Amino acid sequence: DATVVPRPKQSQCLPPLPPPHARHPTRPPAQKSPTPDATPPRPPPPHEPGRLPVPPASAAMGAQQSVNAGKAKVDLHVDLTHMLCEALLLPPLSSSATISQIVGRISLKHPSLFGRSEKLDVILDKGVNDSNVVVAFRRPRPEWLSQQSFVIQHSMTPEIAVHGFPADNFTRSGSRGVNLSRLSLGVEINEPTTSKWTSGTSVKFEHIRPVNNDGRSIARDHEGFPLTCSGNLHDNMIILKQESGYADVKDNSFLRVNFQMEQGLPLVPKSLTFNRVKCAVSKGIKLGPTFLVTSLTGGSIVGDMAPYQAFAIGGLGSVRGYGEGAVGSGRLCLIGNCEYTVPLAKNLEGSLFMDCGSDLGSARHVPGNPALRQGKPGFGVGFGYGVHFNTDIGQIRVDYAMNAFSRKTFYFSINTGGAGS
């Protein structure tokens, strides 16, 4: 049996992080940001549970045009990105399912909005089931001072990782008709980067509203359990976030550490007060011609909590062989990954991998117990092998994963190294 991998959403509180098994460990690319050009590129930390990243499983088609606007030049970039995960599905997907995997992006960049090197970025991502709009304004700064950015973002995404139901022995997750409309306004301050350390702080206001497939606000799911922390049709929160990263990359090894902490501040009526912490550590070492990468990620949230804030486990960014969030979701999470890469020929590599993850018994502490009601196990192990072919356009990967229920999943991806960025 081969199962399609649903396209991961991007609606969680923490930013998407690429998994260590999605790239060659000795050639780490710059970390992608939802608002490009805000800061110098950071070394990419390991994968993030609870929020599946957008995997590098995409091929991009697009065009770029530069337009003169007064004394400034405006760059207009259009992308059409098609997730290729369904290519090996047996039987073939229906046409509607294939169309749902297509995402288009339009980006507009103005390098000097008021003639003083202020940068304006506008990004629009639109798919059949989700959308994302980002407007970012960045003030110029000397190299030794912090970079200030003002960001407005609105997204609409299906809530599958927490409220979806596992199907086909947990190899995929189905929708229960719950979507999240998220509006955020904030300020980001990024400290000047050093050779190994990065640091950033942000303060933002978030307005989160669950909606059904018809776009109507809902406060409860189909079984009558609350979707918000407040019990109303929406949640409001003011979040202070601190993120620090460390990267030590050498010819034969690397070490990366990423720490993120979010604090909900009680500054507006009925706002959520919580503390959410996540830490990810990855280590890679060269063993002769081969390379071994291991990573460990843990997270915790205390205080007020809505179900959509839970750490969701399962999928391409955490435990392969499972659907998005099909392992479980809880206030705690612990995920481990290990991948061993062997060169087979010129530009051709083979890999063996094993992933495991657990909610550490914390699913019952999530409001409404969505994971327990869906029968998710709370612990999962996936393992498999893959073939990676390096080409001029990027890396082509075919991974074959099996979960604890002996169900198999194919992952077919083309990492163009910049699609959609």
Domain CATH number, residue 363: 2.40.160.50
Residue 74: CB atoms within 10 Å: 17
Tell me if 330 is assigned to some domain: yes
Residue 75 lies in a domain: yes
Q: Does residue 42 surpass a pLDDT of 60?
A: no
Residues 249-299: pLDDT tens digits?
A: 999 999 999 999 999 999 888 899 999 999 999 999 999 999 999 999 999
Provide the domain limits for residue 62.
20-415
**Mean pLDDT confidence for 61-88:** 49
Q: Is 41 among the domain residues?
A: yes
Q: How far apart are CA 267 and CA 256, in angstroms?
A: 35
Quick one: average pLDDT of 224-237? 94
pLDDT average, residue stretch 357-382: 95
Question: Which residue, chain included where needed, has tokens 């079984």?
Answer: 223
Residue 64 reports pLDDT greater than 80? no
Arithmetic mean of pLDDT, 5-28: 40
**pLDDT band at residue 135, thresholds of 50, 70 and 90?**
very high
Quote the CA–CA distance of 105 and 126 in Å, as a whole number.
6
**Does residue 345 fall inside a structural domain?**
yes
Among residues of the chain, what percentage have pLDDT more than 70? 73
**Distance, C-alpha 194 to centroid of its chain:** 25
2, pLDDT greater than 60: no
Reported for 270-273, long-range contacts at CB under 8 A and 24+ positions apart, including other chains, are 270/230, 270/232, 270/236, 271/236, 271/237, 271/238, 272/229, 272/230, 272/235, 272/236, 272/237, 272/303, 272/304, 272/305, 272/306, 273/303, 273/304
410 part of a folded domain = yes
Can you tell me the mean pLDDT for 197-214? Answer: 94
14 alpha carbon, distance to own chain's centre? 8
Average pLDDT over residues 323-348: 95
The pLDDT score that the predictor gives to residue 217 is: 95
Q: At 140, is the pLDDT very low, low, confident or very high (cuts 50, 70, 90)?
A: confident
Helix residue spans in 295-376 (DSSP H): 370-373
Backbone angles phi, psi at 87, to 5 degrees: -60, -30
Is pLDDT larger for residue 238 or for residue 83?
238
- Is 6 inside any structural domain? no
Instruction: Tell whether 240 is covered by a domain.
Output: yes
**Banded pLDDT at 46 (limits 50, 70, 90):** very low
Whether residue 9 lies inside any domain: the answer is no
Label residue 129 by pLDDT band (50, 70, 90). confident
Residue 98 scores a pLDDT above 80: no
Count the domains in the chain: 1
